[in-house]
Amino acid sequence: MPNGAPASPVHHVKKQSTSTVESTSSMPVPVTNAGVPQSQRLQQQPSDPQPTKENEPEPESEEGGESASPPTVNASVHAVREIGPLETDVFGLYSLTFVNKTKDLSERKVRLDFSKYGDVARVRGQFIAAGESIIVSFNDKESAEKAVTSPTMASKYGPSLNTCPFMDVVPDKDGHFSVEFVNSGMNGIREITNEFSKHGEVMKVMAGGAKNAVKRVTVSFADRKAAFAAVKAHETSKDFVSIDFSRDCLKEMST
């Protein structure tokens, strides 16, 4: 007994250790991930959350190479985006556009982000709802190019960030040149008509939305020049926020 008793437990421990190593080395998850290219794994993770659980050992390798991960994602986003030509718009500015994905985004936030790349001349678009197109305009071409090619901005604002196609201002179905804005100042129809009549003949003013709520207002002018004057005059107004031409009056021109 004194001679044989220690040998048997020691022999067992070694055998368990060996079998544990064998089972660990034959686990399917590391072998599967090792055979899948990195670009393919990036595409799978957003749509299939289950492989992420199986790949829990991978964060250890990410901790060691944490700085290499973001450029890989950004390079993937940038590769998908095909940046269009950058030319002056109807205001003589260099404009970029993106689709607003959240109702919490504000004009001030957008202006602060894009101002890191140059002087932002104006920000247009509706911020009250997700899915609206926002236009950011720079005074110079170089600043606009820096912003649109920035991996940081592509990651922050998504693949929709691109150069703005040239849009011409045309009459709507009624033959008018219309502008729209958010009536943050809660002005009445008569006040709005009087204010915008300073820029030209106002044909009609329409307000939409619930009663006693901040409404989106459309002002229609008889001629194109008056509509341009109104947009320029109120682009920084706190009463007529996010003023821009009505969608019906914007037509994308092929270059």
Which amino acid makes up residue 225?
K
Domain boundaries, the chain: 94-165, 169-252
Range 53-70 average pLDDT: 42
18 vs 5, 12, 104, CA distance in Å? 21, 10, 57
Q: Please work out, in degrees rounded to the nearest 5, the angle formed at the alpha carbon of residue 248 by the alpha carbons of 98 and 243.
A: 60
Task: Report the top-level CATH class of 94-165.
Answer: alpha beta
Closest CA to 95 of 40, 174, 164, 45: 164
Q: What does the pLDDT look like over 161-218, one tens digit per residue?
A: 999 988 899 999 999 999 999 898 889 999 999 999 999 999 999 987 656 556 889 9
Residue with tokens 């040239």: 166
Tell me, yes or no, if the two domains 94-165 and 169-252 fold the same way. yes
User: What pLDDT, on the 0 to 100 scale, is given for residue 139?
Assistant: 94
Residue 120 has pLDDT above 90, yes or no: yes
Looking at domain 169-252, its CATH superfamily turns out to be RRM (RNA recognition motif) domain (3.30.70.330)
Distance, in Å, from the CA atom of 208 to the CA atom of 204, rounded to the nearest integer, reads 13
Give the chain's count of helices (H) and strands (E). Answer: 11, 10
List the structure tokens of 161.
């960030």
Distance, in Å, from the CA atom of 86 to the CA atom of 42, rounded to the nearest integer, reads 31
